[in-house]
Amino acid sequence: MIVKTRGLVQIYTGDGKGKTTAALGLAIRASGQGLRVCFIQFLKGIFGGEHFFVSQHHAFDIIQISTGDLFTKSIDRVSEEAKQTLEYAEERMLNSEYDLLILDEVFIAIQYKLISVRQILELIDKKPESLELILTGRNAPEAILERADLVTEMRKIRHPFEKSIHARVGIEY
């Protein structure tokens, strides 16, 4: 039996690798304990290993409204997709369909001014008490950091990109 507790707001940010990976680990843990999980990705563009895992195991819902190469789309199209993603997230949150809602790379959408800090603060204000809300991405705005219950910063010390080692299937995506 799942006991409903007060849901927190968690943030994974910083310039280091592991923000999405940490959120995925939490999604798997929560799903394994019977919680209903929705993992919503902003601006990812391509499907990663997490999509293939979820399609094979039906562990949780993973949503990516924006697909394809983001660099070939107009800024208006990318902006519209970011707004649609946020609207979808708010709808899922308010319908109480999930116990855990993850907004992956939401801070990148804010950084590129596709959505606003104010919109995310309003989303936090509307969060049902029992919902756990996870926000990820580089450059989390200070106003949102102040509202979080848990903030983890991934700090880059060394990264393979510095040695021209590119993203690898199954490791980075």
Distance CA 152, CA 14 (A): 8
> Tens digits of per-residue pLDDT, 8-19?
999 999 999 999
Instruction: Match domain 9-163 to its CATH number in 3.30.390.10, 3.40.1280.10, 3.40.50.2300, 3.40.50.300.
Output: 3.40.50.300
pLDDT band (50, 70, 90) for residue 173: confident
Kindly tell me the burial class for residue 35, based on how many C-beta atoms sit within 10 Å of its own C-beta (0-12, 13-18, 19 or more). middle
> Tens digits of per-residue pLDDT, 74-110?
888 888 999 999 999 999 999 989 999 999 999 999 9
Every domain of the chain and the residues it spans: 9-163
Q: Which of 115, 159, 108 is nearest to 138 (CA)?
A: 108
pLDDT band (50, 70, 90) for residue 34: very high
* DSSP-assigned letters across all residues of 66-77: SBS-GGGS-HHH
Say what the pTM is.
0.89
Rounded alpha-carbon distances, angstroms, from residue 100 to 8, 47, 137: 10, 21, 17
The chain-wide mean pLDDT, for the chain, equals: 91
